[in-house]
Amino acid sequence: RLRNPADASISQSMLDRAHNQPELPPEIARRRTFAIISHPDAGKTTLTEKFLLYGGAIQMAGQVRAKGEARRTRSDFMQMEKDRGISVSASAMSFDFDSYRFNLVDTPGHSDFSEDTYRTLTAVDAAVMVIDGAKGVESQTQKLFEVCRLRDLPILTFCNKMDRESRDTFEIIDEIQENLAIDVTPASWPIGVGRDFLGCYDLINDRLELMDRADRNKVSESIEINGLDDPKLAEHVPAEQLNKFLEEIEMAKELMPQFNHQDFLDGTMTPIWFGSAINSFGVQELMQGIADFGPQPQPQKASPRAISPDEPKVCGFVFKVQANMDPKHRDRVAFVRLASGHFKRGMKLTHVRSKKPMAISNPVLFLASDRELAEEAWAGDIMGIPNHGQLRIGDTLTEGEMIRATGIPSFAPELLQTCRAGDPLKSKHLEKALMQFAEEGAAKVFKPAFGSGFIVGVVGALQFEVLASRIELEYGLPVRFEGSQFTSARWVTGEKAAVDKFIEANKQHISHDNDGDVVFLTRLQWDIDRVARDYPDVTLSATKEMM
């Protein structure tokens, strides 16, 4: 008989040991904070919807749909940007499953790989990777996976659209193993493909799950099976399919590694579930996997010391800032991941960067599509804090300790353009608008030491258009983006004397970012190499830590 990949060995004590941290207070231990990564169209929106449905957060599937569709075309994307309501409330969603509290953090939907995505992934403890059973590992999945790997995030895989003609199960697993260099272990195994897809055998719980095609929102029929030689299997699965399934399982047993919880937590092994999000099939098993395998809220890197989730004092960090729904008000929502403690509304926290106290009186928890005032939150939760610009990405809030979350980077932009106000007299206004977007993380803004205008840097060309439309909409300021003589930006660091000497000799290339840090602009890799050779005391870097 096939050993369960997870076997019964996943006991609570093993979980605790694997997490290698003291037993957490139950409120924290029950939190699961994760993101979904996928290639557009693989079914992220549909799966999110079903999560919320089973989490009791929405009554009917279909409420999140607008977003998936809006994402698809450029004009719709702009509309979505205007319609801030959708994107703000969908940025983080909390719902309950079983005795667990799930916090699902949305990764930005557009296909330009952005640092926004990276920063979002600094706020989660795990990721669900959704792949399309017919298409396998696609480009965007691969990129996002690499980002998860940088942080060794544990990954749970959901192979979607099994109700359609899909690839051979072994082929799919092989492709994941090869393209992503991660061990894959089946948590369920599909029976039949395409039109003949019947359901899955749940290898963890020894259950046969049969899909109901008639009602897409119905939970699958679940039949307890006492091991693979249980005659009950034959009652539900036609002989031909059953034989094929048993053969495959026999092979899988020989070829595939068994589930190892520590490897999963280390990010070197992913369990895979097969299902069909649109038919609500396989979704609950996946959710159960998130609940059972975790991980619980993890420690956060910080300076001068790391923050452990079980510390009694509250500490949180801002990983994302978003303009508020109403463009006429310059309010913004800072998304804070609580790294430790038990937060209560009205608490006065220290804003570490400015060393000033901040009363957090109207924090928001994102309960599915409704925003709700957060009366309390625990380590692992994501909270929205409305503010007028005090909170920036990378900021830390504590109960007084001067500690700063680290590991939230800013990347050098890949595209640079000069931005000018349609009305030259409005250049001060433009500066203000651009600085706000820079603090929101929507763009990099550089003020050249020489010359006029601002140089704006982004990762994907679409962002220039979104920016232009937002500046006009939110600040009533028509702007132009023009080609810039520069194509690369690097932050300059080193001893003050060395940096000053460097600035003096390279004035045409020098600018300052919105934090006032020195940036070297150039169009040639050759220039960057030259600096490395001629100024050994100065470092040019493509990333900077936000703090």
Is residue 209 near ligand G4P by the rule CB under 6 A? no
Which of 118, 58, 109, 91 minimizes the C-alpha distance to 365? 91
Contact 543, 410 (CB under 8 A): yes
Q: CA-to-CA distance for 216 and 11, rounded, in angstroms?
A: 34
User: Which residues, 6+ apart, have CB-to-CB distance to 143 below 8 Å?
Assistant: 113
Q: CA-to-CA distance for 65 and 329, rounded, in angstroms?
A: 27
Is residue 41 near ligand G4P by the rule CB under 6 A? yes
Of the candidates 23, 27, 63, 68, which one interacts with ligand G4P according to CB under 6 A? 68
Binding mask 164-203 for ligand G4P (x = CB under 6 A): x---------------------------------------
Of the candidates 278, 283, 314, 397, which one interacts with ligand G4P according to CB under 6 A? 278
Is residue 50 near ligand G4P by the rule CB under 6 A? no
Of the candidates 24, 28, 42, 377, which one interacts with ligand G4P according to CB under 6 A? 42
Q: CA-to-CA distance for 344 and 376, rounded, in angstroms?
A: 4
Count other Cβ atoms within 10 Å, centred on residue 11.
9
Would you say 43 or 297 has its CB closer to ligand G4P?
A: 43
Q: CA-to-CA distance for 389 and 437, rounded, in angstroms?
A: 10
- Dmax (CA) for the chain in angstroms is 83
Residue 487 identity (one-letter amino acid) = T
Of the candidates 2, 30, 34, 38, which one interacts with ligand G4P according to CB under 6 A? 38
Q: CA-to-CA distance for 323 and 330, rounded, in angstroms?
A: 7
Q: CA-to-CA distance for 37 and 42, rounded, in angstroms?
A: 10
Please report how close the Cβ of residue 49 comes to ligand G4P at its closest, in angstroms.
8
C-alpha dist (Å) from residue 171 to 204, 406, 432? 22, 40, 53
Q: How far is CA 434 from the centre of its chain?
A: 25
Would you say 42 or 334 has its CB closer to ligand G4P?
A: 42
Q: Is 449 annotated as a binding residue?
A: no
Q: CA-to-CA distance for 137 and 144, rounded, in angstroms?
A: 11
Of the candidates 25, 40, 327, 460, which one interacts with ligand G4P according to CB under 6 A? 40
Please give the size of the binding site for ligand G4P, defined by CB under 6 A. Answer: 17
Q: How far is CA 501 from the centre of its chain?
A: 41
Please report how close the Cβ of residue 42 comes to ligand G4P at its closest, in angstroms.
5
Q: Which residues of 415-451 are buried (b: 16+ CB within 10 A; e: fewer)?
A: bbbbbbbeeeebeebbbebbbbbbbbbbbbbbbbbee
Would you say 45 or 157 has its CB closer to ligand G4P?
A: 45
Window 73 to 132, contacts with ligand G4P (CB under 6 A): none
Q: Residue 386 belongs to what H/E stretch?
A: strand 382-387
Would you say 163 or 183 has its CB closer to ligand G4P?
A: 163
Is residue 386 near ligand G4P by the rule CB under 6 A? no
Q: Is 41 annotated as a binding residue?
A: yes
Please report how close the Cβ of residue 314 comes to ligand G4P at its closest, in angstroms.
34
Would you say 279 or 396 has its CB closer to ligand G4P?
A: 279
Q: Which residue stretch of 84-92, 221-229, 272-280, 524-532 sits at the interface with ligand G4P (rule: CB under 6 A)? A: 272-280
Of the candidates 188, 276, 284, 506, which one interacts with ligand G4P according to CB under 6 A? 276
Q: Is 40 annotated as a binding residue?
A: yes
In the block, residue with structure tokens 């080193």: 494
Is residue 64 near ligand G4P by the rule CB under 6 A? no
SS3 163: coil
Please report how close the Cβ of residue 92 comes to ligand G4P at its closest, in angstroms.
17
Is residue 284 near ligand G4P by the rule CB under 6 A? no
Please report how close the Cβ of residue 85 comes to ligand G4P at its closest, in angstroms.
18
Would you say 107 or 522 has its CB closer to ligand G4P?
A: 107
Please report how close the Cβ of residue 281 comes to ligand G4P at its closest, in angstroms.
7
SS3 52: helix
Contact 92, 382 (CB under 8 A): yes
Strands 454-458 and 488-494: unpaired
Q: Is 132 annotated as a binding residue?
A: no
Would you say 44 or 351 has its CB closer to ligand G4P?
A: 44
Which residue ranges are tagged as binding site? 38-45, 106-110, 160-163
Site residues for ligand G4P per CB under 6 A: 38, 40-46, 68, 160-161, 163-164, 276-279
Which residue ranges are tagged as binding site for GTP? 38-45, 106-110, 160-163
